[in-house]
Each structure stands twice: as structure tokens, then as C-alpha cells.
Amino acid sequence: MADKQVSLPAKLINGGIAGLIGVTCVFPIDLAKTRLQNQQNGSRLYSSLSDCLLKTIRSDGYFGMYRGAAVNLTLVTPEKAIKLAANDFFREMLSRDG
């Protein structure tokens, strides 16, 4: 396979997209985890992770599971873009002969 160079802006864009997808997939589970952790011992609203997700969908709709995700998306997107581009850059630099 021929070594094809990918430009730095393309690496940053790909990393940002990966960050967006990651947050989008994980955020509902993180939301449910936080809600379960914030329950008071006497008044438990949720019995399990799936119960919390189902009740959230019923009360707030599907997009209710993403309420507050904008902050995570804003912070994670540039962080992942830089991290993945730097990882690729340093892997390339350190794997060269000599």
C-alpha cells in the first residue's frame, strides 16, 4: 500500500468528528449515571440504568437525553482533534528510520 500523506487540517477535522461521535454515543449513558448517583437514599426515582433511560425518554423525549450535551461537545471536539492529530504526528515522527 502506498504511503499517502494526510494534511494536518484533515487530521484535525477527522479528530473533531471522532470526538463528536464519541460524545454523541456516550452522553445518554453518562446522563443516566449522573442521575443515578444524585438520587437520595430515601427517594429513589430510578432502579437501574435502563430504567433511568426509559423514564428520561418518556418524560423528556429522545432529545431530552442530550440536554446539556452542548458543553461536552464544545470541550471534547477540539481536545480530541488535537489529541488524535498529535498522536498521528508523533507516531509518524518516531517511527522513521534514523
* 2 lies in some domain: no
Task: Report yes or no on 98 lying in a domain.
Answer: no
Q: What does the pLDDT look like over 48-71, one tens digit per residue?
A: 999 999 999 999 999 999 998 999
Quote the number of domains for the chain.
Answer: 1
4 found inside a domain: no
Average pLDDT over residues 66-88: 91
Q: Is the pLDDT of residue 2 over 60?
A: no
* 3 has a pLDDT exceeding 80: no
Domain that holds residue 59: 11-37+46-92
Mean local confidence (pLDDT), 64-84: 92
For residue 97, tell me if it sits in a domain.
no
> What does the chain look like in DSSP terms, one character per residue?
-------HHHHHHHHHHHHHHHHHHHHHHHHHHHHHHT--SSS---SSHHHHHHHHHHHH-GGGGGTTHHHHHHHHHHHHHHHHHHHHHHHHHHTS--
Q: Which residue has the higher pLDDT, 98 or 26?
A: 26
pLDDT at 95: 85
